[in-house]
Amino acid sequence: MNRGGIGETLSKILGRKNVWIFILAVTTIFSFLLNYLGLIRGLSGVTPHLFYIPIVIAAYWFPRRGIIFSVAVGMAYLAMVYLMTYPDVDSITSATARFYVLVAIGVIVASLSSNLKEQEDRYHGLFDYSEAGVFLIRTYPTHQVIEEVNQRGADLLGYRVRDLLGAPLDDIWIDPEEYGRFRSLVNISGTVSDFESRMVKKDGSGIYVVMSAGTLPDNMVVFTIIDISERKSAEEALKESKERYHGLYNNALVGLVRSRVHDGKVLEANEQMAHMFGYNNVESYLQEFRFSQHYVDHGTREYLVEELMKYTTVSNFEARFTKRDGTYIWARYWARIFPEKGYIEGVFTDITEEKLSHRALDESEERYRKLVDNLPDYVIVYANDRILYANPAAAGVIGKQASEMVNMPVMDFIAPESQDLVFQNSTRRHLGEEVEPYEIIIGGTTTPRRNVFISATSITFREEPAVLAVLTDITEWKKAEDALNASKEQYKTTIDAMSDGIYLVDSELNVVLVNSKFRRWLNRLGIRGDIIGKSIDEVLPCVKGELSAEFRMVFSSGEVLITADEYHIGGKDYIFETRKIPVFEDGVVTRVGTIMRNITLQKKIEAEKKIAYQQIEKNIEQFAILGDHIRNPMQVIVGIADLEGGEIFQKIHYQAREIDRTINQLDKGWIESEKIREFIRKYYGIGQE
């Protein structure tokens, strides 16, 4: 039977966050309204304190957004004072100071709330996975009600967890007097240990249990139960539990310690605790160490004791201590005070490395920020279409300071023609698709336009989802690319205009470039279609094998190879002078360019010249022989005329001299012809065998 009453109902209502959101809204509006009235009537000394209520509520229930809320409330209050009292410097100064107080309160309460929630998470972990039955009880003036129970506790009593929630605690006790004694012990001492009792299970049978209990704030009691139905088994279980406790105590990886309140002398400690503070054994640690002498920061121990006296326990308390050798360590610990016994128990963890890591992380973040601030690439972080961060390079490219770009619409940074593409890719990335880097244009009508290559990824920035975009400026590269494309087009036009056939092969002997002249020659051979990427043996099957060997020779030697090749095309014979020229990259031949020149007509003319020269030589030789043949008969004629004498001799003799002079001129012409032949042989190669 559930007997929670009004108090229990109110507790459940106040445990809902939506109720606190409503309260937060009401108190915020109420606070602003009263402050507005106070400013109108000149009563602004007290009303600002009303803002503590909504700020504390927001920071406690919503710690992550509580700080933002406190800043927003403070800024709104400051703006209201400024608008209503300007130019009253005293009022504005006072409002500014209150703004900082409000923000400080929000930060402190949010931090404490975060720590409290961590403790709650830790508590739920222990609660849910405990091997013992754990019950959380809320105490009312007339009765106690089960508010929470773990699965183990429900199993021990044969119930489901939800069946026990809200049930009166005395319903599961067999003996009401025993229950009354248990409750009295809890009320008097605050804790109960090893309390043996009988409880009733759902099926009506009884179960012996040993329980421990302790009071918690807000009229709460926690107690655990262990089944001890068989006394002998219970004693053995207790013995094993004690041994297990001592084993855990001595071999724990955390420091366990008990120390006196008034002077900090160590009363008990495990080996881990002694080693943590630089002692080889527990005995010397117990003899020498006093906490009051080893806190590095003055006043830390006094503050700890004060908090323990106020709250009994303290969790996640961090402090610096000096070790035996004078060096210091950072420790995080849980502590509980027992005032009636005069000692404090604590669980210590050495967090020196963690602190050093945090410091290193802070330094690393600072280095990262400096690196990003000095990157030549443009770096921006944006969320909800607003820029949250921009490095100086990104701001400078549009003529702004980095601070001026914060909260600027991200599309103002993008050229209009690229905005649709950016929006589409942002949508794809938001839907979980992977977006490869792509090219856009930044700038606009009033700022310089730049071509950039954008690479973006989703990140968490200031605890909120955002997008990190790195933009690499490729404007100059684009200009160079355009110039290169123009150069390539000009180069292609040039080689296409050449009268020689040109083609280029790679190291695999595949054709990668041809000019129009070479394509026309291939068409005459009956080879049509796209030949780029084909093997040279496929392109010129008529010289298969031999041509491949010549190319490999050029690739291996790196020297120009000149050959004269004969082809039979269209029923005609052609002769080509072929030059295979290596193309080097980093000192290695990567391609070979081939220039083919048709020298068929040239070779034909050379052959005809050679035949004509040979005919001239024969004619000259005939002229020489002909002179001898003429002179011999002329000598006979002159001799006969001399015998005859008279006038006829004179005429014959005269004509003979004329004939001889003509023959002498022929002889001189033969000598000159010989010189010309020698010149032709020497400089034109005609007549050489």
Two structure tokens written together for 380:
């921006």
pLDDT reported for residue 371: 61
Confidence label for 338 from pLDDT (cuts 50, 70 and 90): very high
Kindly state the average pLDDT of the residues 355-373: 66
Q: Which residues contact 31 (CB under 8 A, 6 or more apart)?
A: 47, 50, 51, 53, 54
pLDDT at res. 232: 52
Cα–Cα distance measured from residue 184 to residue 196, given in angstroms and rounded to the nearest whole number = 15
Lowest-confidence pick of 249-253, 327-331, 379-383 = 249-253
Would you say residue 68 has pLDDT above 60? Answer: yes
Contacts 24+ apart (CB under 8 A), 459-466: 459/381, 461/381, 461/383, 461/388, 461/389, 462/388, 463/64, 464/383, 465/383, 466/381, 466/382, 466/383, 466/388
Residue with tokens 């006829």: 648
Q: What does the alpha-carbon distance between residue 85 and residue 81 come to, in Å, rounded to a whole number?
A: 6
Tokens 């001595």 found at = 250
Per-residue pLDDT at 369 exceeds 80: no
**How many CB atoms neighbour CB 625 within 10 A?**
10
Instruction: Find out whether 292 and 304 touch, Cβ atoms under 8 Å.
Output: no
Q: What is the pLDDT of residue 193?
A: 85
- Among 448-457, 560-569, 613-622, the range with the most confident prediction by mean pLDDT is 448-457
Burial of 627-664, coded b for 16+ CB within 10 Å and e otherwise, reads beeeeeebeeebeebeeeeeeeeeebeeebeeebeebe
**383 has a pLDDT exceeding 50:** yes
Q: Are strands 438-442 and 450-461 parallel, antiparallel or unpaired?
A: antiparallel
pLDDT of amino acid 665: 67
Q: How far apart are CA 23 and CA 441, in angstroms?
A: 50
- Give the separation between CA 61 and CA 630, rounded to whole angstroms: 141
Cα distance between residue 391 and residue 583, in whole Å: 44
Q: What band does 545 get if pLDDT is binned at 50, 70 and 90?
A: low
Distance between terminal CA atoms of the chain? 132
C-alpha closest to that of 44 among 100, 87, 93: 93
Confidence of residue 3 (pLDDT cuts 50, 70, 90): very low
Position 4 confidence tier, pLDDT thresholds 50, 70, 90: very low
Match 């006790």 to its residue by tokens: 173
Q: How far apart are CA 509 and CA 536, in angstroms?
A: 6
User: What is the C-alpha separation between 275 and 260, in angstroms, rounded?
Assistant: 20
| Residue 75: pLDDT over 80 | yes
The alpha-carbon radius of gyration of the chain (Å, integer) is 54
Q: What is the pLDDT of residue 253?
A: 73
Residue 13 has pLDDT above 70, yes or no: no
- Per-residue H/E/C for 204-222: CCEEEEEEEEEEECCCEEE
**How is residue 106 written in tokens?**
């929000």
Which pLDDT does position 321 carry in this prediction?
92
Alpha helices in 130-258 (DSSP H): 151-157, 161-164, 176-189, 231-251
The answer on pLDDT for 260 being more than 60 is yes
Among 3-17, 25-39, 405-419, 571-585, the minimum mean pLDDT is found in 3-17
pLDDT (tens digit per residue) in 164-215: 888 888 888 888 888 888 888 888 888 888 888 888 888 888 888 888 888 8
Which region holds residue 231: left if phi is over 0, alpha if psi is between -120 and 50, else beta?
alpha
Average pLDDT in the 113-142 region?
76
> What is the token pair recorded at 650?
């004179």
Q: What pLDDT, in 10s, does the model give residues 563-612?
A: 877 766 666 777 777 888 888 888 888 888 888 777 777 767 766 667 66
For the ranges 71-85, 220-234, 541-555, the one whose mean pLDDT is highest: 71-85
**DSSP codes joined into one string, 485-510:** HHHHHHHHHHHHH-SSEEEEEETTSB
Average pLDDT over residues 483-495: 68
CA neighbor of 384 nearest in space, from 407, 405, 352: 407
Residue 683 pLDDT grade (very low, low, confident, very high; cuts 50, 70, 90): low
Q: Are 382 and 410 in contact (CB under 8 A)?
A: yes
Token pair for 656: 């003979």
- Give the model's pLDDT for residue 91: 78
**What pLDDT does residue 629 have?**
65
Q: Is the pLDDT of residue 496 over 80?
A: no
User: Assign residue 665 a region: left if phi > 0, alpha if psi is -120 to 50, beta otherwise?
Assistant: alpha
Alpha-carbon distance 401 to 405, whole Å? 7
Q: What is the DSSP string of 3-44?
A: --HHHHHHHHHHT-HHHHHHHHHHHHHHHHHHHHHHHHHT-T
User: What pLDDT, on the 0 to 100 scale, is given for residue 1?
Assistant: 43
**What average pLDDT does this structure show over 209-236?**
80
Count of Cβ atoms closer than 10 Å to residue 443 Cβ:
19
Other CB atoms within 10 A of residue 52 CB: 17
In whole angstroms, give the CA distance from residue 81 to residue 68.
20
State the pairing for strand pair 220-227/144-149. unpaired
Instruction: Give the pair of three-digit tokens for residue 480.
Output: 């160079």
- In this structure, what is the dihedral angle of CA atoms 523, 529, 535, 537, given to the nearest 10 degrees? -30
| 281, 288 Cβ separation under 8 angstroms | no
For residue 125, pLDDT over 80 is answered with: no
Give me the mean pLDDT over the 50-73 stretch. Answer: 81
CA 291 vs. chain centroid, Å, equals: 47
Average per-residue pLDDT for the chain: 78
Is residue 222 within 8 A of residue 135, CB to CB? The reply is yes
Helices (H) and strands (E) in the chain, counts: 22, 20
Name the residue among 600, 585, 596 with its Cα closest to residue 515: 596
What gap in Å lies between CA 152 and CA 226, rounded to an integer? 10
- Whether the pLDDT of residue 140 is over 70: the answer is yes
Q: Indicate if the alpha-carbon torsion angle 483, 486, 490, 491 is positive or negative.
A: positive
**pLDDT exceeds 80 at position 418:** yes
Kindly tell me if the per-residue pLDDT of 11 is higher than 60: no
Residue tagged 């091997």 (tokens): 131
Rounded to whole angstroms, the Cα distance separating 443 from 411 reads 10
pLDDT for 686 beyond 80:
no
